[in-house]
Amino acid sequence: MVKRVFTGLGALAGLLMSAVLLAGEEISQPAPNGIGTTEPSPLGQDAVIAAPALSPEEMQSLRTRATARWDALIKRDFNEAYAFASPAYREIFTPQQFAGSFGRALDWRHVEILDVQPTGPETALVFIRVFFKTIVDWADDPFDASAVTEESWVKSTDQWWYLPKTKR
């Protein structure tokens, strides 16, 4: 189980990160569909259901895409970051809507891919530590902090795509 971790001024960083970062869900739930969790099984009581494996090449491809997406966000190049969103997302939301979903209270500095967890043959969760500096007016001094977030990715047409969380 991976939990959101805040360093720096913990509570304030947590509040800012939750308010600004798209990946706003708490990262403490088990994987969807019981994958990687213990559930009753015909194979025996409380057998662990294994998640599907991705090849080393698939894992590296996904890590590369997730990192490239964050490189675009760090540069605040929202058009480039938008290009990593799934085709279905891009059919519904415009680049302007995507860009408008980000605030300006954080200055993202760099990211570290912590883990990639397959959840299906063509789906995975990517856990990322985001390092940032606050840039809010009401804080006396900007401070450095980090937070761990979870991203959903899906493979379609031989490419990994980010699945943004949407609020409707």
Distance of CA 43 to the CA centre of its chain: 33
Q: What does the alpha-carbon distance between residue 67 and residue 74 come to, in Å, rounded to a whole number?
A: 10
Structural domain contains residue 83: yes
Range of the domain at 27: 10-38+49-163
Q: The sheet that has 159-163: what strands, in order across it?
A: 106-120, 123-134, 144-156, 159-163
pLDDT for the residue 139: 64
The CATH number given to whatever domain includes residue 34 is 3.10.450.50
Q: What does the alpha-carbon distance between residue 144 and residue 14 come to, in Å, rounded to a whole number?
A: 12
Structural domain contains residue 121: yes
Structural domain contains residue 57: yes
Structural domain contains residue 60: yes
Structural domain contains residue 93: yes
94: Cβ–Cβ under 8 A, 6 or more apart, which residues?
none
Kind and range of the H or E run holding 112? strand 106-120
pLDDT for the residue 39: 44
pLDDT along the chain (168 residues), means of 10: 40 38 36 43 52 86 97 95 96 93 85 95 96 78 88 95 83
Helices (H), the chain: 10-20, 56-74, 78-82, 87-92, 95-100
pLDDT for the residue 107: 85
pLDDT for the residue 4: 40
pLDDT for the residue 135: 76
Structural domain contains residue 44: no
Number of Cβ within a 10 Å radius of residue 148: 19
Structural domain contains residue 168: no
Domain count, the chain: 1
pLDDT for the residue 67: 98
- Token pair listed for 130: 């985001």
Structural domain contains residue 158: yes
Q: What does the alpha-carbon distance between residue 14 and residue 90 come to, in Å, rounded to a whole number?
A: 29
pLDDT for the residue 151: 97
Place of tokens 């403490």: 28
Mark residue 34 as left, alpha or beta (left: phi above 0; alpha: psi -120 to 50; beta: remaining): left
pLDDT for the residue 101: 87
Number of Cβ within a 10 Å radius of residue 154: 17
> Of 5, 26, 13, which Cα lies nearest the Cα of 165?
26
